[in-house]
Chains A and B, each alone.
Chain A
């Protein structure tokens, strides 16, 4: 047995995605929540590359590339927003950011 089934890669991707969702839902630190989003993006990237292998086409790699670019842009803007939130509220807990709830 020298070959890895495609489904193992996809299952790994699903596991990483669910862990990202768990971090997104359960954690209270705004930076950790943001890192969970990155984890989910990585999980989806693994699916893209796996499908690219299965179809023997390079397109999936291109999608992964674009996801990386968007993730980089998102990280830059998101972390700037986190800086602003911290400056205004001096807290990193997302429970403290509830202005729209009232």
Chain B
């Protein structure tokens, strides 16, 4: 059951991710990215990260992607124009990416040989209670710094997007 669940949503995530890269229209890419994020949320649930799964759907698929779609609509972004790209990128790009993937997959297989496996319900320490407890004790300082980061981001966004006064 776990394997079927994993395979279904992993294939969905990879298919949507390929669609993100392949689609020429940004709005199609954005909607595919929502698909990737929702399937990742299911995989987080499988790993026992219920709070993170909820946050993934609310923050990523909800807030951030709405911001993206909003900007795409605002700028009236059309399909991307294909221009001549360099010979180097055409010939070396795909092989180098495949090499990167092969290298990462090789190290994963070497470092995590069979034996370790994920079972639904095998880890139950990811509830909102546990996250909150860790967040407000061990990670209190990073949490406070994060609030300053968000304040800076708000000010930065307002300053960048404002209309210049003549």
Contacts and interface: CB of A to CB of B under 8 A. Distances in A.
Interface of A: 1-12, 14-23, 25-29, 31-32, 34-36, 38-39, 42, 45-46, 49-50, 52-54, 56-59, 61-62, 64-66, 68-77, 79-84, 86, 92-93, 95
A23 B74 contact: no
Main secondary structure of the interface of B (DSSP, over half): helix
A53 B48 contact: yes
Contacts of B142: 66
Given A19-B17, A31-B26, A5 B117 contact: yes
28 contacts: A2-B2, A4-B6, A7-B114, A7-B116, A11-B108, A14-B101, A15-B101, A16-B13, A20-B17, A27-B80, A35-B26, A38-B64, A49-B44, A49-B47, A49-B52, A58-B130, A59-B138, A61-B52, A64-B52, A70-B149, A71-B60, A80-B157, A80-B158, A80-B161, A82-B71, A86-B75, A93-B81, A93-B83
